[in-house]
Amino acid sequence: MNIMNVDYSTKIPNNVNLAEDRQVLKALEGWHPGYIDWWHDMGPDGFQQSLVYLRTAYSVDPRGWAKFDYVKMPDYRWGILLAPQEENRKIPFGEHYGEPAWQEVPGEYRAMLRRLIVIQGDTEPASVEQQRHLGKTAPSLYDLRNLFQVNVEEGRHLWAMVYLLQKYFGRDGREEADELLRRRSGDEDSPRMLGAFNEKTPDWLSFFMFTYFTDRDGKMQLHSLAQSGFDPLSRTCRFMLTEEAHHMFVGETGITRVVQRTCDAMKDAGITDPTDIAKVRALGVIDLPTIQKKLNLHYSLSLDLFGSEVSTNAANAFNAGIKGRFHETQIDDDHQLQNATYPVLKLIDGEARRVDEPALTALNMRLRDDYSQDCVKGMLRWNKVISTTGYDYKLTLPNVAFNRAIGEFKDVHATPDGLLIDDATWNKRKGEWIPSAEDGEFIASLMTPVTEPGQFAAWISPPKVGIDNKPGDFEYVKIET
Ligand code: BYC
């Protein structure tokens, strides 16, 4: 079969020749009903009978891989798509640097690989669960459609990891695949594996922040796994990254539109002080300081997803050739990090200071630094909107010591500027830095659904262009109840 095109003749669309891989096809078909049950129980609440204008991958050719059409979400063709195999690909880092990439799981690294695939897989359904209720309060049909696009593709990413588990990990892979459908975001007894995926996504501003900051962790982690010496994982992640870009676009443009609307409303009302929260809120838009608080929360939760700054797990995965660095092949060094060091942020005498550590154990820190740099880009755009409208206010990323639950700063409290403070001060002042219950209630009060084509809630601007170049009044979702 042609790897570029996807075979839609089996129940599970794929470009991995499932039709001739009977055992794996059977395992996946056996898993399918449980997945559909999970989608009905934990996927978008309502709208399952609505027609949604979604893109579906029909090819893995970067020049044209998706087609758009109306689909009912439960009928979405969740497929298994791997980027084309690179001929003679070599392991690009670690002890096995320069050896041919593995097409099968190397026995000695089986447990490590399985763990990373399971962690990656666990985040995908978790995000769908977190976003389950948002459809009910969508600010427009355009946004509703974007939410569902993100949801079905996270579902597909789960399929991608389940395929790897079922094809390459035998019985324990099948058990892990079942567990992925059993855990639930925020569940007391059986939560999702990583912290940020057990938090609530209560409103659309949180959704945009999540898709900007947490999906961007996904981007960094997928880039690192795309370097893997285990070729099927590399190829899977490479294609997932193609879809991931849209998720971050939803976040970045979503926040831009919220900021734009707030600034426009303030200007129209003649408000000169953007920190006059009561006055701004009275206009029915979200004030910039509250946007900053949401940003503080989601950025700090996402930083936790990189694990500890100094990590032997990360060093072992790199040495083994399983998980590389962001843009590994473009880095000019020995790709083994035998004598290299990397400056790691540590808490010394009550201050955050950079200290050189062996680069191998500092890989989480390095990836996190790459991530922070990537996060700044969107912020420059949001700040441009603010300054262009004539306001003197800047959104900023909080210090890495702020609000952390994992790593070097998990046992201390810090202000967004990185000043260490005691428990009492934190408890007294945290409402200034992360959204308070009252902020949540205010945002919730704005979350009334808008379902007329071409109409938008008053707290968000319309997008500059439509999806698939559709006109402004396009009916992205034909709502059926
Ligand atoms: N929460 O050596 P350490 C995405 C655990 S997002 C809870 O510091 P390591 C997406 C850790 O498991 C990307 N536990 O860290 C986005 C370990 O436990 P065990 C998802 C945590 O292993 C939006 C212990 O602490 N993909 O795709 O170097 C929507 C010590 O660990 C957390 C991946 O993450 C936490 N935050 O690094 C949809 C890639 N952090 O094993 C999707 C795969 C650490 O000792 N995962 N722990 O019991 C990895 O590469 C690594 O496992 C981690 C942690 C980066 C997560």
For the stretch 304-337, pLDDT in tens is: 999 999 999 999 999 999 999 999 999 999 999 9
| Residue reference for tokens 């096995």 | 96
Q: Output the CA 123–ligand 1 centroid distance in Å.
A: 10
Q: How far is CA 149 from the centre of its chain?
A: 13
What does the DSSP 8-state code read for residue 230? Answer: B
Ligand 1 contacts (CB < 6 A) are: 116, 119-120, 123-124, 127, 154, 194-195, 214-215, 217-218, 221, 304-308, 311, 313-314, 323, 364, 406
pLDDT tens track for 207-237? 999 999 999 999 999 999 999 999 999 999 9
Q: Are 320 and 114 in contact (CB under 8 A)?
A: no
Q: Tell me the chain's radius of gyration from C-alpha atoms.
A: 23
Q: Using one digit for the tens of pLDDT, what is the confidence trace for 409-439?
A: 999 999 999 999 999 999 999 999 999 999 9
State CA 136 to chain mean position distance: 22
Task: Specify the ligand 1 atom closest to the Cα of 306.
Answer: 55
Cα–chain center distance at 80: 19
Take atom 11 of ligand 1 and give the residue whose Cα is closest. Answer: 307
Distance 224 CA to ligand 1 centre (A): 13
pLDDT at 11: 83
250: how many CB neighbours lie within 10 A of its CB?
21
Task: Supply φ then ψ for residue 71, to 5 degrees.
Answer: -140, 145
Q: Which residue has the higher pLDDT, 378 or 226?
A: 226
Say yes or no to pLDDT of 4 above 80: no
pTM summary value: 0.97
pLDDT of residue 481 exceeding 80: no
Structure-token pair, residue 137: 């309060």
Task: Give the span between the Cα atoms of 175 and 253, in whole angstroms.
Answer: 39
Cα(119) to centroid of ligand 1, in Å?
A: 7
CA-nearest residue, atom 5 of ligand 1: 307
Give the per-residue pLDDT at 329: 96
Section 261-275 average pLDDT = 98
